[in-house]
Structure 1
């Protein structure tokens, strides 16, 4: 049985348990999330999905389009692409395979089995059979240059912290 602890719950527990610097990761996509993680004691924050939507990302065009669509509002945990649990957007492949997820072989076998499907989908620019990895804050991701995202993260984080100090 898996226990999936959210970042906001996990960060203070880890901060209290270790002496090493703590980097918060998961569900952080804007300055509000950065400020929250820092307030909970994190020394830094790793942002993933927000960077997938950036112009410089190595994500396929289909993946970036999916992140910019209303589909980004909902993510699911799935093993159907790789055999390992990962969070992603729902598409035709996920919907078709989810009823059979208990029969999916473990990583790396499932990853190897689905690789030709994913390659063909990417070549055909069809996101309905791609692994569209995305975190819980995927709906906050915006297509833009990475430098703009970094600048926005810094500005938003500062605004949130200053706003809290004024309260």
Structure 2
């Protein structure tokens, strides 16, 4: 059986990739050691305090605190009574920031400068934003995906296993609603992903977003259509404005 992970790590080292970010668990020690020997910082993903502590103990460089609000697949690698952790970012972030000495990167539902400032106030060193960039003009997301995020005033999201067998947050649509009653009976990952492959492929061919996994976080209604560089500038200005408001409010008259 080919060593796919080993081959991937070899390419990362050969190409001198500056940072490696992982999810769904911890890298095997030999792989982690090879990256460290090459001088590559490694970032792990945690959805609960225990996962963050495991990442810190494994010698990672930084940890992403992925809140319940985040779009796409949950990065969980632990469970309680068979259920993955479902902790919101506001509760998760200070717990992790207080417990580990690593830089903490906040992820989940952050869409604008207000969210960035809130994350920094709760102990984050940086933020990781996904959904906010799905609707930029440079995004590789299909048009049906982008339009679903931008044009539906009632767009909402749901956690589902039905597309892949692994819990993930996606736009609520006909597929998620139809499968909802039996969501917990979905086959495990990646078997469920193969089971739904034909449906997803045909839905994509027909441009049917109601049967596609349109990953998105809970902050989706704050999405905006703009260039990525313009979004970065807007975020910077929003952070400055937000901090300025707090500073002014606390300045003695």
TM range (shorter): over 0.9
Q: 1:116 Cα deviation (Å)?
A: 2.1
User: Could you tell me which of 153, 159, 175 is aligned with 1:70?
Assistant: 153
User: Could you tell me which of 111, 116, 119 is aligned with 2:201?
Assistant: 119
Structure with bigger RCO (C-alpha 8 Å, 6+ apart): 1
- 1:49-91 residue CA offsets vs partner (Å, 9 max, x unmatched): 011111111111111011012243x211111101011111111
Cα distance in structure 1, aligned partners of 2:139 and 2:205: 17
What does 1:1-167 align with in structure 2 at a 5 Å threshold? 1-68=83-150, 69-72=152-155, 74-167=156-249
Cα distance in structure 2, aligned partners of 1:123 and 1:10: 39
For structure 2, the residue ranges without an aligned partner over 5 or more in a row are 1-82
- Contact residue 71 and residue 90 of structure 1 kept, 8 A: no
Q: Secondary structure at the match of 1:116?
A: helix
| Cα RMSD, aligned residues only | 1.1
Which structure: greater helix fraction? 1
- 1:84-119 residue CA offsets vs partner (Å, 9 max, x unmatched): 111111111111111121221011001111122112
Cα distance in structure 2, aligned partners of 1:161 and 1:122: 43
Question: What residue in structure 1 maps to residue 68 of structure 2?
Answer: none
TM-score (norm 2): 0.64
Question: What residue in structure 1 maps to residue 39 of structure 2?
Answer: none
Q: Secondary structure at the match of 1:23?
A: strand
TM-score (norm 1): 0.95
Count residues in correspondence: 166
Cα distance in structure 2, aligned partners of 1:165 and 1:122: 49
